[in-house]
Structure 1
Amino acid sequence: MILSRENILKLIESGDLVLDPYSEGSQQPASYDLRAGEDYVLKKGECTLVHSMERVELPAGVAATLMCRSSFGRKGVLIGGGYVDPGFRGNLTLCLVNMGPEDVPLPAGERCVQIIMHEVTEGSSTYNGRYQDSVGAVGSRI
């Protein structure tokens, strides 16, 4: 089940879900738009590691999928990777690949990626991997 705006807001209000700093303008009916944590230029033909402005903390019963916003997709920007396990804490590193014909500026605070949250049924395991408590954009640790 995909979490609705109302589900997301209830989880935030209870303290079980953290999206900090939260922006009402980023809240969508069934997702939340993550914002770029600093100024970037997405160079054509390159992958750029962008960190989310928001610190994200998912509870045990919630996982998430990341999707590039359609306005960036129309410019040729795609996202590589895109799954967040329950229990993840930290800034998300967004692997944005610009396949378009020109560089795309991405200013700090620009909404760039949607996080779509899903209920995890009958699960109690949480993420405790090498990217836990990430700050800023984090390159591969393997």
Structure 2
Amino acid sequence: MTVLSDTSIKKAVLSGELSILPFHDDALQPASYDMRLYWKILISPMRHENGRTVDLRKEPNHTFFVEPGRFVGILTEEKISLPLSMVGRFGLRSEFTRHGLVAFGGIQIDPGFKGRLAISLFHAGPELIPLKLGRKMFTVEFNQLADQASKGYDGPFQNQSTFHKMQKDFILNAHTTSLAEINTLPSEIASIQHRLTMHETFYHPKREFPSISELAKAQGVSPINDITELSGLLSEEDDIDTFLETVQKWRRGNNNDE
């Protein structure tokens, strides 16, 4: 198996053996070809957001900034078509991997494959990473087989022009916690503790007045064990009816110091 040089890649494209559409001369590397970012990307949910599809054509400066902790689905702008005598290998350009983007998925492009290339990414770095429409993100290496393959690729990604349902469902439902969010956890915990304290104070306020038992203890009054202990409170001259009437007036707030 022989790795194609830039000269061999261009020769294969010009002869029609290999198809890369659109083809850009400035994307040729010494032994690979750089592919550009398509306008449609998938963004995983985070916090209270839902996963969504982003159209880079509608973003400011055609750029979306990926937060740490997110999954992203991306496609190549180019569509390729490999002959049965050729196999490809692709991945992210090193400038992205050095900033924390990790690629998931098969790296081999089988003989006979046709369509856009799709890849799932995870941002494991600490800072925002800009994804700009048309930016060179992928690098593809083409290898000439010693013998032509007996059959071409016929899997679910053949002739794909957009995201496969399997990849779309995964990205749009891959809820994650941002690495940046972890730094906010102490303040969020403190906020929760404060709210719990306020809740406890509101529903269980501190008593401002002592209870009857506390008052009795403070005044040295003990419980009565025998009702006859109350017999000396009224003299024989006192009228019990007058006493009860006076108590009723006190309770009604009509005490006139009679």
> Aligned partner of 1:55: which letter?
K
Q: Where does structure 2 lack aligned partners over 5 or more consecutive residues?
A: 40-55, 57-63, 168-258
| 1:90 maps to 2:115 | yes
| 1:67 maps to 2:68 | no
**Aligned partners of 1:69 and 1:113 also within 8 Å:** yes
Which deviates more, 112-121 or 51-60?
Answer: 112-121
| 1:47 maps to 2:71 | yes
Which residue of structure 1 lines up, in the alignment, with residue 153 of structure 2? Answer: 127
Provide closer, same or farther for how the CA distance between residues 27 and 93 of structure 1 changes in structure 2, counting only shifts above 3 A: same
* Residue number among 142, 147, 150 corresponding to 1:117 in the alignment: 142
Moved over 4 A (4+): none
Which deviates more, 19-28 or 121-130?
Answer: 121-130
Percent identity reads 30
Structure with the greater relative contact order (CA < 8 A, sep ≥ 6): 1 or 2? 1
Which residue of structure 2 lines up, in the alignment, with residue 137 of structure 1? Answer: 163
Which residue of structure 2 lines up, in the alignment, with residue 76 of structure 1? Answer: 100
TM-score by length of 2: 0.52
**Aligned partners of 1:80 and 1:96 also within 8 Å:** yes
Separation in 2, partners of 1:48, 1:120: 33
Structure having the higher Rg:
2
Provide closer, same or farther for how the CA distance between residues 17 and 77 of structure 1 changes in structure 2, counting only shifts above 3 A: same
Separation in 2, partners of 1:93, 1:67: 10
Q: Where does structure 1 lack aligned partners over 5 or more consecutive residues?
A: none
Which residue of structure 2 lines up, in the alignment, with residue 102 of structure 1? Answer: 127
Q: What is the Cα-based RMSD across aligned positions, in Å?
A: 1.5
**Aligned partners of 1:61 and 1:86 also within 8 Å:** yes
| 1:24 maps to 2:25 | yes
Which deviates more, 55-64 or 39-48?
Answer: 39-48
Provide closer, same or farther for how the CA distance between residues 43 and 57 of structure 1 changes in structure 2, counting only shifts above 3 A: farther
Separation in 1, partners of 2:88, 2:65: 26
**Aligned partners of 1:92 and 1:137 also within 8 Å:** no
Separation in 1, partners of 2:165, 2:142: 24
Query: How many residue pairs end up in the alignment?
Result: 141
Partner-residue secondary structure (3-state), 2:26: helix
